[in-house]
Amino acid sequence: MSTEAQKNNTTTTVVGKNKLVVDREKTVPFLLRIFWRQGHHHRPDDYTPEHLPTENEVQIYTWKDATLKEIANLFREVNAEANKPNARLSFKLVYLDNLRGKYVLKDLGAVHNLSPSSDHDTNLDDARFVIGDFLDVAIFHGAPPRSIERRNSLWRDRNRDRDRDRGGRNFRGIGNDRERERNRDRDRDRDRDRERDRDRDRYRDRNGGLRADRDRRDDRRDRNLRDRRR
């Protein structure tokens, strides 16, 4: 039992690593203030120690092990927009940063009316909620957006299916084969040019040597003729 629980004569139990379960028959609920907007969240500067966006406020009594799904169900009872079948509630934790002296908003998750999400079982204690913090709720309508990873995966699958022909081969694979064939032809042409250059160099070297020998023979013959004349 925590020190805070002992002071308030409450009973709490930690299940697993970080999951808190409150004995609600022995624990007094606290007041939770929820500020909501249609279509988007409040800005951080909408919260100041002197002013809160109380024009759209809902107050409920709950416990620290209350999940987002449970809070959403209570919120729907008093808000008609949140009760629509295609509504999606996005939750943010609002807490006061004592070092900077201003409120900070932290993402908690979303609850969808159409389908469950992984955030449904997130409770206030998981978000390190402290009594006195607020919740900021944005109400959206429409199907829940797909994640970026999911969209990228769908695009990859769609492109892969589009690139396949009836025989099961892939046009990208055919393109790669053609590119490799062109590279091999280019390499053969380059090797042929190099061999031709080497033959030309050898021919030049050989002709240059024959010319030098012929010049030396001519010089020797000229010297012999001059010696005979003498």
Give the whole-angstrom CA distance, residue 189 versus residue 62. 80
Q: Is residue 61 predicted with pLDDT exceeding 60?
A: yes
> Are the CB atoms for 39 and 81 separated by under 8 Å?
no
Give the whole-angstrom CA distance, residue 93 versus residue 111. 14
Q: Which amino acid is at 181?
A: E
What does each C-alpha distance from 131 to 71, 93, 164, 171 come to in angstroms? 15, 12, 58, 61
Please state the rounded mean pLDDT for residues 180-200.
78
pLDDT value of position 9: 44
Residue ranges per structural domain of the chain: 3-144, 146-230
Q: Is residue 3 predicted with pLDDT exceeding 90?
A: no
Q: 123: exposed, middle or buried (C-beta count within 10 Å: 0-12, 13-18, 19+)?
A: buried
Instruction: Sheet with 57-62: list strands edge to edge.
Output: 57-62, 30-38, 134-141, 87-97, 102-112
The first and second tokens of residue 160, run together, are 């892969």
Indicate the pLDDT class of residue 230, thresholds 50, 70 and 90. Answer: low
pLDDT value of position 4: 47
Selecting from 3.90.1150.10, 3.10.20.550, 3.40.50.300, 3.40.630.190, what CATH number does the domain 3-144 have? 3.10.20.550
Give the whole-angstrom CA distance, residue 104 versus residue 47. 9
Rounded to a whole number of angstroms, the distance between the first and last alpha carbons of the chain is 133
Average pLDDT, the chain: 79
Q: Is residue 53 predicted with pLDDT exceeding 60?
A: yes
pLDDT value of position 206: 65
Please state the rounded mean pLDDT for residues 112-130.
89
191-209 pLDDT, tens digit each: 777 777 777 777 666 666 6
pLDDT value of position 45: 93
136-175 pLDDT, tens digit each: 999 998 765 554 445 555 556 565 655 555 444 544 455 5
C-alpha atoms less than 13 angstroms from C-alpha of 119 in its C-beta half-sphere: 19
Q: Does the predicted TM-score (pTM) go above 0.75?
A: no
> Are the CB atoms for 57 and 33 separated by under 8 Å?
yes
